[in-house]
């Protein structure tokens, strides 16, 4: 959960490719430590459901790409 903490105020763009057999949700280190991202691209994350308030902490997010991630359900307030 401490990953990326030192980059929180500086990192504006992140593209990351996952091993889909390992992760089934966005890691907390990304959701809570990188709240100043303007662009986030997640690839191969075996994310079947985008849960409510998944992106609530992001204050500056302008661009979001979720590629090859098996999304089947987007809860009503996932982007709120």
Looking at the chain, how many residues does it have? 80
pLDDT band at 55 (very low <50, low <70, confident <90, very high): confident
Backbone φ and ψ for 29, nearest 5 degrees, come out as -60, -35
pLDDT band at 63 (very low <50, low <70, confident <90, very high): very high
pLDDT > 80? residue 18: yes
pLDDT > 80? residue 80: no
SS3 (DSSP) at 43: strand
Burial 2-16 (b: 16+ CB within 10 A, else e): eebeeeeeeeeeeee
pLDDT tens sequence across 20-45: 888 888 888 888 888 899 999 999 99
pLDDT of residue 1: 61
């Amino acid at each position: 959960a401490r990953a990326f903490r030192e980059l929180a105020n500086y990192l504006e763009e992140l593209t990351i490719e996952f091993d889909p057999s390992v992760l089934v949700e966005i890691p907390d280190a990304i959701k809570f430590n990188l709240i100043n991202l303007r662009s986030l691209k997640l690839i191969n994350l075996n994310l079947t459901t985008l849960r409510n308030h998944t992106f609530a902490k992001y204050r500056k997010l302008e661009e979001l790409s979720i590629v090859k991630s098996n999304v089947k359900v987007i809860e009503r307030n996932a982007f709120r």
